[in-house]
Amino acid sequence: MASLAIYEFLPKKLCLSRNLTPQNHTIKSHLSPSSIRFFSTSPRWNLRVSEFSSSDFNSLKVNQNRLMDTIHHTCQWGTGQRWGDTPTETGMKRLALTDSDKSARDWFVSETQSLGCKTTIDAMGNIFAVRPGLNNDAPPTYAGSHLDTQPSGGRYDGILGIVAGLEMLRVLNENWVETEYPVGVVNWTNEEGARFPISMVSSAVWAHQIPLEQAHNLKEVGSGTATQKSELQKIGYLGSTPAAHTSIPLSAHFELHIEQGPILETSSSLIGIVTGVQAYKWFTITVTGKDTHTGTTPFATRADAMLTASKMILQSHRIATKHGGLASTGILNLEPGSTNTVPGIVRFSLDIRSGKDEVVEAMEKEVREVFAKIARGENVDGLNDGCTDGKPCIVDITTDSDSKAVKFHEDCIGCVRDAAGGLFGEKTEELTRELASGAGHDSVNTSKVCPTSMIFVPSKDGVSHNPAEYTKPEDCATGAQVLLGAVLRYDRLRKDRGE
């Protein structure tokens, strides 16, 4: 097809240049045919990012209604507990590598391919969708997050980041924007760690933080049979490409996410510019006593694993409070699980966090010392007051995850700042807030390999990992707008640096 024919039949709604305003896509007669660039079939498009003015950046707008419709469309796969009366007021239960996760993955692959992306699936089931740029020999700039949820999660945690990345691709295509380098969207497998208990496990394998074999052999919580590898095979997402940044490199990673806390909402801020992530460690604590009959065994002769574990859980909260950190137990299993039998074995999870690595280390040290004393039956901080002394138990502490405090890359943070500034103008300082993430995200692992930053949007009442998790549609769109602006600004930054 000749250039003139391309020019004559170019859809008006897909035009954008310095001579075409977003409000009036009327082709100016003085434009030459060679100034029109045609996606994937012509060496030149309409407008390339390196030529963008500030107004060009600001003229690209995400479609709020389309963004929200897409979010709610994806929530048909793994719909969870209802919390309100409207059709969309339900939570989500889409655990990693389940049939519902497969359906959401299939949709993601189909949607990104329909937008001209090439998709690659690695050995951990991570899905990389790439839209070509001018220089496709260089690694893409990615927006990334996850489609899996907690067992009683909501519609926004992780999901918003993926759908906003998809919206970014749609906006670029419909406005015929040509990026200097490829851009893409990545769906990371099992970010939550809810079904297979290491969070952010697949991005960790990609970043060479966890061996592939360890991740593949990780067993399903409460199952003992299903592994990540067996479930990847079951749903058809065990890719042949190595799960490694050396095989699938990223030039940068931007992640839009709900805050999952109350800071933005209480400060009336619309965008959180995330500068880093606090440190955390996950442990599995196994307390071994002796299972005996509840009616025939006096307190003094019991080795009650459940009573001992309960003291440990309470003391972990005291230790965290003392150090200015956080501690939580989210999983608790006991054996044999009979009303009239004293539990002989109890396993529980322990999650400790702080913004400083040294605080997490200090909390762990004290946890190990104090739990050993509690297991021996010592009266730590008066925990035994009013109780009859029983027999000692044995405690074993296994470290499951160790994530150090992370500082994000200043170049990426700067692109987020600039994108927010372009959106808010004089109100930028009022409507944005710089903060560290209290939760772990896949961006923790990508930051170990490539420049990374995150964007937060407000969570209603600070609620997350809950069916009633909610972020207003306009806030979701604002976050998607900043994500789009940040990725494009980073693309131009790469060009300016001559990558």
Distance (Å) of CA 217 to CA 59, 201, 225, 306: 48, 12, 10, 29
Class of 69-278+406-496 in CATH = alpha beta
Q: pLDDT digit string (tens) for 398-420? A: 998 888 899 999 999 999 999 99
pLDDT at residue 54, as a whole number = 85
Instruction: Tell me if the domain spanning 279-403 has CATH number 3.30.70.360.
Output: yes
Split at pLDDT 50, 70, 90, the class of 79 is: very high
CA dihedral 209, 213, 214, 216 (to 10 degrees): 110
Please count the CA atoms within 13 angstroms of the CA of 25 that sit on its side-chain side. 14
- 48-57, 143-152, 447-456, 465-474: which range is least confident on average? 48-57
pLDDT in the model for residue 2: 32
* pLDDT at 43 > cutoff 80: no
Task: Give me the half-sphere count of Cα atoms (radius 13 Å) on the Cβ side of residue 301.
Answer: 7
Specify which residues 285 forms β-bridges with.
348, 397
Tens-place pLDDT, residues 265-275? 999 999 999 99
Name the segment(s) of the chain with CATH classification 3.40.630.10: 69-278+406-496
Classify residue 483 by its DSSP letter. H
Domain ranges in the chain with CATH number 3.30.70.360:
279-403
Amino acid at 79: T
Helices (H) and strands (E) in the chain, counts: 15, 18
Alpha-carbon gap, residue 471 to 474, rounded angstroms: 8
What pLDDT shows up at residue 494? 97
How far is residue 329 from each of residues 285, 310, 335, 336, 351, measured CA to CA in Å? 10, 10, 18, 20, 6
Q: What pTM value is reported for the model?
A: 0.79
In this predicted model, what pLDDT tens digit does every residue of 348-372 receive, in sequence order?
999 999 989 999 999 999 999 999 9
pLDDT score recorded for residue 55:
85
Count the helix, strand and coil residues of the chain and give each as a percent rounded to the nearest 5: 35, 20, 40
Which whole number is the average pLDDT over 434-440? 91
Dump pLDDT digits (tens) for 14-42.
Answer: 333 333 333 333 322 222 333 333 444 44
Q: Which of 311, 422, 415, 320 is nearest to 362 (CA)?
A: 320
Percent of the chain with pLDDT over 70: 91
The DSSP call for residue 220 is P
- Tell me the C-alpha distance between 165 and 171, whole Å: 10
Output Rg (C-alpha) for the chain, integer angstroms.
26
